[in-house]
Amino acid sequence: MTATRGLEGIVAAESKISSIIDDTLTYVGYNIDDLADNATFEEVVYLLWHTRLPKEDELAELTKQLAENAEVPQAIFDQFKSYPLQSVHPMAALRTAVSLLGVFDEEADDMSPEANYRKAIRLQAKIATVVTGFSRIRRGLEPVAPKPELGYAANFLYMLHGKEPQAIEVEAFNKALVLHADHELNASTFTARVCVATLSDVYSGITAAIGALKGPLHGGANEQVMKMLSEIGSIDKVESWVQNKLDNKEKIMGFGHRVYRKGDPRAKHLRVMSEKLTKLTGKPELYDMSVKIHDMVVGQKGLPANVDFFSASVYDSLGIEHDLFTPIFAVSRTSGWVAHILEQYANNRLIRPRAEYVGPGMQKYVPINER
Ligand SMILES: CC(=O)SCCNC(=O)CCNC(=O)[C@H](O)C(C)(C)COP(=O)(O)OP(=O)(O)OC[C@H]1O[C@@H](n2cnc3c(N)ncnc32)[C@H](O)[C@@H]1OP(=O)(O)O
Ligand SMILES: O=C([O-])CC(=O)C(=O)O
């Protein structure tokens, strides 16, 4: 038995949800470029959960269900208020809140496909309220109740900022949600599938996935990109900062990918939105800095930007706190996690690989007083 480090290249599941073939990403056979330009996030949620695009009435029904289920138990917000709010990371708060949502869901352990679908809707609906509510409580504000007439993307920004967003902001945020929704067997999705393959419940699967997404090599990278941009501070400092990192063989966040070689097809959509929004908000230097970093890393390392790189300046332009970037990734990726969890249940087998043992050979037990 020989281990493959990081399971690189190992095919661990069959899936009908998304594919990455020759650097082209599709959700259920629809090219991500097509979806980014045309689809609402709700349509993508339906696509991932039903493996087909919705008809008008089906989309209306899903949108209605998401709106109707957006409120969360007051206990979630009360718990947030008891946290050390200056130090707790919103991903930790989110991980705990999703677990708590499971405690309040009377159907949490009902494993029927119907109950699992109802939980999927509740989770997707409530996770936006949880993330925005946490942000507001931390800022000393009360959570804003969702507005059912707004779509998912607009509602998120409304609940976060307490005012209805402009059309361009909704367009950018919807696009970001669409682009982050699913990505084949990435680390957090694999985590969710491993968890529920024991026939554990949906809430456990999503809680586990949030834990995996939090790390800076995965979803946590978008916050780190913004940290880097803030640390560099101005365009004249980019060259020396990046060169120093590259010379010291340090990683530049937002670059590289386990699967893509020529480039991540999602990055170009976020790059366009970043250019537009940074101009609109009077911070064009953020975009210019990003492009300069990009050109240096691509030029010297041949490493293309991944989805996290330009999403950072997009979210910053939308007035979003930097440590909320990864929770927003989780809000979107919940749709993909749920799709994979439902697919796993539908054709389940326990996921249990082997390890290559590299420890000592057979040893004889030595009593403690003789060691
Ligand atoms: C949504 C997502 O999860 S997308 C990924 C988000 N993560 C990041 O942006 C973090 C930065 N990127 C990385 O750490 C990596 O590219 C990963 C984790 C995404 C993929 O990693 P892997 O496929 O395991 O590649 P690995 O980390 O082994 O890197 C291979 C080589 O490229 C280098 N490399 C990879 N990414 C970077 C980077 N961002 N900056 C500089 N060098 C890098 C490594 O140092 C290594 O070099 P070496 O062979 O000289 O030691
Ligand atoms: O697929 C991966 O390894 C990382 C990921 O989630 C993404 O790029 O969206």
294 Cα–ligand 1 center, Å: 15
Residues constituting the chain: 371
Domains in the chain with CATH codes: 12-215+326-346 (1.10.580.10), 221-317 (1.10.230.10)
Is residue 191 within 6 Å of ligand 2 at its C-beta? no
Asked if residues 322 and 226 have their Cβ atoms less than 8 Å apart, the reply is yes
Catalytic positions, please? Answer: 257, 308
Residue nearest to atom 24 of ligand 1 (CA): 258
Residue nearest to atom 44 of ligand 1 (CA): 251
* Nearest of 292, 231, 221, 220 to residue 252 by alpha carbon: 221
Q: Which residue has the tokens 């501070």?
A: 233
251 Cα–ligand 1 center, Å: 7
Q: Which ligand approaches the C-alpha of residue 191 most closely?
A: 2
Q: Which atom of ligand 2 is nearest to the CA of 20?
A: 1
* Nearest of 253, 240, 249, 251 to residue 322 by alpha carbon: 253
Is residue 257 within 6 Å of ligand 1 at its C-beta? yes
Q: Distance between CA 344 and CA 326 in Å, rounded?
A: 25
Instruction: Quote the tokens at residue 256.
Output: 């590289």
Q: Distance between CA 212 and CA 200 in Å, rounded?
A: 17
pTM for the model: 0.97
Q: Which atom of ligand 1 is nearest to the CA of 218?
A: 3
Q: Give SS3 for 244.
A: helix
Is residue 218 within 6 Å of ligand 1 at its C-beta? yes
359 Cα–ligand 1 center, Å: 28
Question: What does the angle CA 220 – CA 201 – CA 327 come to, to the nearest 5 degrees?
Answer: 20
ipTM: 0.98
Cβ atoms < 10 Å from Cβ of 327? 30
Asked if residues 48 and 178 have their Cβ atoms less than 8 Å apart, the reply is no
The residues near 347 (Cβ < 8 Å, ≥ 6 apart) are 14
User: Partners of 19 in the beta sheet?
Assistant: 26
Is residue 178 within 6 Å of ligand 1 at its C-beta? no
User: Partners of 26 in the beta sheet?
Assistant: 19, 31
Quote the pLDDT of residue 148. Answer: 85
Q: Which atom of ligand 1 is nearest to the CA of 329?
A: 1
195 Cα–ligand 1 center, Å: 26
Quote the pLDDT of residue 1. Answer: 85
Is residue 296 within 6 Å of ligand 1 at its C-beta? no
Quote the pLDDT of residue 244. Answer: 97
Q: Which ligand approaches the C-alpha of residue 242 most closely?
A: 1
Q: Which residue has the tokens 């409120």?
A: 71
Residue nearest to atom 51 of ligand 1 (CA): 249
User: Partners of 24 in the beta sheet?
Assistant: 21
Point out the residues of the chain with pLDDT beneath 50. Answer: none
Is residue 258 within 6 Å of ligand 1 at its C-beta? yes
Instruction: Quote the tokens at residue 51.
Output: 């493996």
Q: Which ligand approaches the C-alpha of residue 246 most closely?
A: 1
Residue nearest to atom 17 of ligand 1 (CA): 257
For the chain, percent of residues with pLDDT exceeding 70: 100
